[in-house]
Amino acid sequence: MHSIFYYSSELARYDFGPDHPFKPERAQKTLELCYRYGVLHEEYMTLKKPPALPYEKLLLAHSKDYLDVLQRVGEGEIFQEMLNYGIGSQDNPPLRGIYEWSRKCAGATWEGMVEILDQKADVVFNPLGGYHHAYRSRAEGFCYINDPVIAIKEALARNVRITYLDIDAHHGNAVQDAFFDDGRVQFISIHESGKHIYPYTGFVEESGAGKGEGLIVNIPLPPKTDDEIYLEVFRRIVIPLIQRFKPDILVAELGADSLISDPLTDLMLTNNSYTQVVGELKGLCGKILATGGGGYDIYRTARCWTLAWAILNDVEPKDEFAGLVGGMMFGPEMEVGSLYDRPYAVTGPEKDGIRQEVGKTMEFLIKRHRL
């Protein structure tokens, strides 16, 4: 087994501004926790710096005119035309250095895919990746360069079967659209319903077209969905679909914004269900390319991603400072005294209503896919 963890302190320090919810420093907190809990010390693990993605690889997901605009913005230009490409909004501000930053974040996901394709890695994690909202000619939802699309297209050129699973609380809209009628990629997104949050897409009826019909699977969940219901959906729908498709490589967008404390979403998960999902993915495919994604409570996100890395590598986190004076919990795990969250469950009539709504979604998907 060989695993790669991509990280750059330069990329983790990149600042979207004090009022912007996206904080790349989550990656730094994750790395610190991985070292603290001894899950990045095995001989088969490599810590690698993200490379700048070659321009021709950016063209796998983006138009030349969009890349030219993004490059100009990255060099500090502010101009009217950028608004036509989604740059200049509150979500996607015109930031100096954004082109190079995005190119390196995407470079890690792309190179990680190449390492898997070349049989040099079995598990890759890029906490600085997962920008699933970036369209061919438009920045959207904090995303400028769509690294999952680039990596998947690199793999398709080598004739492999890919499942893309997105557990971010936001629907993976731009990845879905890139492969909507492709027929070579199984796309599964389990997210908070577009009736309630951005990007207002990802409804159960969206199922692909042409060769892609039936390969696009959306599982929208109502606000306040908890661990119990989430895991029921995952095991009843997601696992059988992936088992049937039998992917060569599983690309997993492991956004952590479905957690109970996330300021931008309304799901009520703890990382107990999150980690069970990651563990069950490990049993579905031997080759996994995982990325970060959403997660706006940076401490809980760091805990999630530390646990995900540990699970993907079959290592048990152990606090190497436990019991030392001054070595008690800090930052990410202070509130619970552990990497794991306290259990939480919604109860009463509210739970009954959620269960009823999710039951209808499952019934629809079970019938459509003959599960």
Name the residues annotated as catalytic. 133
Q: Are 22 and 130 in contact (CB under 8 A)?
A: no
Query: Tokens in use for 139?
Result: 């920045």
Q: Kindly state the tokens that stand for 105.
A: 């974040």
Please give the full DSSP string across 146-182, using - where no structure is assigned.
-HHHHHHHHHHTTT--EEEEE-SSS--HHHHHHTTTT
Whether residue 341 contacts residue 256, with contact meaning beta carbons closer than 8 Å, is answered with no
> In sequence order, what are the residues at sequence separation of 6 or more whose Cβ sits closer than 8 angstroms to the Cβ of residue 201?
171, 173, 176, 194
248 CA to centre of own chain:
19
Q: In angstroms, rounded to a whole number, what is the distance separating the alpha carbons of residues 131 and 294?
A: 9
Residue 220 φ/ψ, nearest 5 degrees: -80, 140
Residue in 261, 241, 121 with CA at minimum distance from that of residue 187: 241
* DSSP letter string, 35-63: HHTT-S--TTEEEEPPPPPPHHHHTTTS-
Query: Tokens standing for 121?
Result: 């890695």
C-alpha to C-alpha distance for 166 and 153, rounded to whole angstroms: 17
Contact predicate 161/135, CB 8 Å: no
